[in-house]
Amino acid sequence: MELIQDFKNRLLANSLTENTAKSYSVGVKMFFDAHNIQTLQDITTEKVMEYSAKIQGGQAKRNAFLIGLRRFCEYYNVQGIQIPKSREAKVQNERIPLVKAEFDTLMKRIDYDFCEEPLKIKALIAMFYYTGMRESEIEKLKREDVINQVRINIMQKKGTKPRLVSLIKPLRDILSRFLACDPESKNLFGMGSTQMRFWVAKAGKDILGKKLFPHILRHTFITRCHRLGMDIKSIQIAVGHSSLEMTERYLKVDPNRVANEVENVLESAEAESGEI
């Protein structure tokens, strides 16, 4: 359907990544196919409500459809359609960021009992943790891209400016130890997305006893930068999000941290003035 391809092209033109544009456009296409929608006038609130209620595949898939359809209606000026709000994933599926102690545990316990190439897996997880990069971005990295580099340029898609990614010293140290053991390789890790997910998930399950996948590490990077006081606009640019809204959805609020902040603020005010 030409309209769906045009929609995907508009998403890409608005700096969304290939994967995100594909997710949104496929979601809208499946809705069109399910209700035999041929023209914009065929889209109705009733059809949207019916389809969103029946989506299989979890909250993430439903959210992708709703966000995609909302953008579609904006791009093509489809008015009078009520679109349900996207919802947070259920608690058991929530992408809970790692804390520093958990990352340190991974770095200590990934050894030759865990796999045949522990330095490679450590470097891979550290790359996700310290940069917030996407699987597709890390997959394309060459050895020469990172050797003796403090910053690297990441091209998200053709026609856009590259994004600058910092390789901080702890990450450079891990990469140096890994590369010293594998001097002949041209690709940095020599893995596709499926292999990356496998090793990250195995490390999470075997060592931490929890679900872990690369995107959780991207959430971790964003949340950690925010908690350390980094401006949210800077975080958006650092991770290559198309909007602040997208970055805000990645942030995870720790209830205990909020409670501690409230107590510290109010107790300090009371100590200074004698009353609140």
pLDDT band at 12 (very low <50, low <70, confident <90, very high): confident
Q: Both tokens of residue 172?
A: 């450079």
Residue 128 structural domain: 100-241
**246 lies in a domain?**
no
Quote the pLDDT of residue 254: 63
Quote the pLDDT of residue 2: 87
Residue 84 has pLDDT above 80, yes or no: yes
Whether 17 and 124 share a structural domain: no
Quote the pLDDT of residue 157: 61
Q: For residue range 221-247, what is the model confidence (pLDDT) as tens digits? A: 999 999 888 999 999 999 988 888 888
Whether 180 and 196 share a structural domain: yes
> In Å, what is the CA distance from 175 to each residue of 108, 178, 201, 219, 251?
15, 5, 21, 22, 27
CB 105 within 8 A of CB 117: no
The residue type at 251: L
Q: How many CB atoms lie within 10 A of CB 264?
A: 10
Residue 73 has pLDDT above 90, yes or no: yes
Name the least confident of 16-25, 58-67, 86-95: 86-95
CB 23 within 8 A of CB 69: no
From 47, 69, 92, the end of a domain falls on 92
Whether 156 and 226 share a structural domain: yes
CATH (domain of 213): 1.10.443.10
Quote the pLDDT of residue 275: 52
pLDDT, mean over the chain: 87
Whether 133 and 156 share a structural domain: yes
CATH (domain of 35): 1.10.150
Whether 171 and 192 share a structural domain: yes
Name the least confident of 48-57, 105-114, 150-159: 150-159
From 74, 92, 110, the end of a domain falls on 92
User: What is the rounded radius of gyration, in angstroms, for the C-alpha atoms of the chain?
Assistant: 22
Name the least confident of 85-89, 119-123, 146-150, 228-232: 85-89
Enter the pTM of the model.
0.66
User: Please, what is the angle between helix 214-227 and helix 232-239, to 10°?
Assistant: 150
CB 200 within 8 A of CB 217: yes
**197 lies in a domain?**
yes
**83 lies in a domain?**
yes
**272 lies in a domain?**
no
Residue 204 has pLDDT above 80, yes or no: yes
Overall number of domains in the chain = 2
Q: For residue range 146-200, what is the model confidence (pLDDT) as tens digits? A: 999 999 998 766 556 788 999 999 999 999 999 998 777 788 999 999 999 999 9
From 92, 109, 130, the end of a domain falls on 92
Whether 72 and 130 share a structural domain: no
Quote the pLDDT of residue 31: 93
Whether 228 and 130 share a structural domain: yes
Whether 177 and 222 share a structural domain: yes
166 torsion bin: left (phi>0), alpha (psi -120 to 50), beta (else): beta
**257 lies in a domain?**
no
**35 lies in a domain?**
yes
Residue 88 has pLDDT above 60, yes or no: no
